[in-house]
Amino acid sequence: MPKTEPGGDLPLSIVVVGASGDLAQRKIYPALFALFCQGLLPANFQVFGMARSAMDQPGFRTKIEQNLTCRYVPGVSCAEFEAAFLKRCHYLAGQYSSTDSFLDLFQFMRMVEGEGPVNRLFYMAVPPTIFLEAANALGNSGLVACGSSREWSRIVVEKPFGRDRASSDGLVREMHKVFTEESTYRIDHYLGKEIVQNLMVLRFANLVFEPIWNRQFIERVSIIWKEPQGVGQRGGYFDGFGIVRDVMQNHLLQILALLAMERPARFDAQAVRDEKVRLLRCVPPLALANVATGQYGPSESGKQRAYVEEPTVPSDSLASTYAAAVLEIDNPRWKGVPFFLGAGKALDSQVNEVRIRFRPVENDIFAASSGMLQANEMVIRIQPDEAIELKIMNKVPGLNMALQHTELDLHYKAAFDTLIPDAYECLLMDVIEGDRSLFIRADELAAAWNVFSPVLNEIETQKVVPMRYPFSCSGPENALGLARKWGFSGADMM
Ligand code: BG6
């Protein structure tokens, strides 16, 4: 999508607000470094970090260096690239809600940048409870150029955007006072993942799938997300949001939208997002009867602690660390096809995959000689070990007519001799190039909240108690019950 734009040749300043936090350290600097190593950042770029803690320039650079990896420039050149990158990283301590702090930052930036117009990318890597005040202070400081000049200012905001439809609408309105919708990049990093980007290609660049991509041929779809870790040090943030807001309302719903939307008129930011919005508006609000929630307890060995024993989690917390939900899509393509979404922390494995179960073949002519036919299934594994598998019935070689469910598989590692970029590399590149296709538009955000807000409200006002499940198990029993009610099997949830 757009690769050149007015002002694309200007110097670039990347301002990381929340510069010492986990997200900045683990994702943002390594992704910027990876772009730098590949020559994908403008020749004249600088990185400015701002956070509350006092830190000098060498301290800041050492902190960044700890997480840099030389995937793209291994060997001797690595040290050179690191040194050249770190030289462009600068730090200033400040208060997020203080206009004066941003004015100081502005002065500091001007000293480093010198004269002349500069594009600015502000990355709000701060907790959601703070980013509005930080954006306001930033706006008041006059650092933001959202006008018609050649230079641009863009803001990247991390999810979750609000806690429900009303708070999200409020945030969108307030943020628009500082940044226009066109300058706002609401990030959902799953949209930057290689296989998630491939969903549209798979569907719309191949003839074989689209004709069967509907209720006539597809019986059910499951989208599963499992993480083996608990919330660890993030309990303070997580407890205020829970797994539905942390993963399901954004990452999983975005995957669903890309899987189920109609073909966009064009491959551009507006047309793609228009189709996602149209699809999301066909998903009725989730009913409490179609949700199962869980919270992890200690592991059976006693080595892993329960969620309520995590630091900064209240001991009587009712937050869900697991949720399963069955969504329907009220349109001619999907009516009657259940979409099972399951997301949980502290489970038995790390996996994020989509399973598309096709309807069984009618009039099985092989039944007498070979036993039961199994229905086709497509598995799209987003992570780890990216792959697309299609399970088909196949004759086992030999003199008998024996049939077997066999996989046609595309394993990325075997098929592509290339590094798979981290999602943040791809998304940061898009922000710099002004391509908003993989970012969440305000109307899309509203449509996503419409699906989940009512049920979240019900769960919270009724103080629904999540079912306890042991750390490292495959998921709570109530999720399996919900899945079975809708015709899914345990295998759909693996
Ligand atoms: C984040 C969630 O958006 O995604 C985390 O807040 C989760 O809770 C993380 O662990 C998972 O991301 P990834 O890219 O490691 O799958």
Return the percentage of the chain with pLDDT > 90, whole number: 83
pLDDT attached to residue 340: 98
pLDDT of residue 5: 60
Matching CATH topology for 12-158 and 191-258+289-419+464-493?
no
The highest-level CATH class for domain 191-258+289-419+464-493 is: alpha beta
Give the residue, out of 227, 353, 422, with the most ligand 1 atoms within 8 A of its beta carbon, to mutate for a pocket test.
227
Distance between CA 344 and CA 466 in Å, rounded? 12
Q: Which of 133-147, 235-249, 369-383, 468-482 has the lowest mean pLDDT?
A: 133-147
pLDDT of residue 450: 98
Q: What is the pLDDT of residue 233?
A: 87
pTM (2 d.p.): 0.94
| 8 Å CB contact between 89 and 71 | no
pLDDT score for 1: 47
* pLDDT tens, position by position, 51-72: 999 999 999 999 999 999 988 8
pLDDT in tens, 317-336: 999 999 999 999 999 999 99
Q: Which amino acid residue places its CA nearest to atom 15 of ligand 1?
A: 227
Could you tell which of 251, 255, 351, 425 is best to mutate to test the pocket of ligand 1, judged by most ligand atoms within 8 Å of the CB? 251
Per-domain residue ranges for the chain? Answer: 12-158, 191-258+289-419+464-493
Whether the CB-CB separation of 283 and 292 falls below 8 Å is answered with no
> Are residues 408 and 389 in contact, defined by beta-carbon separation less than 8 angstroms?
yes
480, 473, 475, 478: which is closest to 301 by C-alpha? 473
Q: Whole-angstrom Cα distance, residue 310 to residue 295? A: 12
Contacts of 382 (CB under 8 A, 6+ apart): 190, 193, 195, 196, 255, 352, 353, 354
Q: For residues 354-382, give the mean pLDDT.
A: 89
What string of H, E and C letters represents the secondary structure of 220-266?
Answer: EEEEEEECCCCCHHHHHHHHCCHHHHHHHHHHHHHHHHHHHCCCCCC
Name the H helices within 302-441.
367-370, 412-415, 423-433
Is the pLDDT reported for residue 148 higher than 60? Answer: no
Structure confidence by residue, pLDDT tens digits, 2-40? 445 656 689 999 999 999 999 999 999 999 999 999 999
Mean pLDDT of 445-453: 98
Distance 278 CA to ligand 1 centre (A): 26
Work out the mean pLDDT of the chain and round it to a whole number. Answer: 93
In CATH, which superfamily holds the domain spanning 12-158? NAD(P)-binding Rossmann-like Domain (3.40.50.720)
Q: How confident is the model at residue 2, as a pLDDT?
A: 46
Model confidence band, residue 147 (pLDDT cutoffs 50, 70, 90)? low
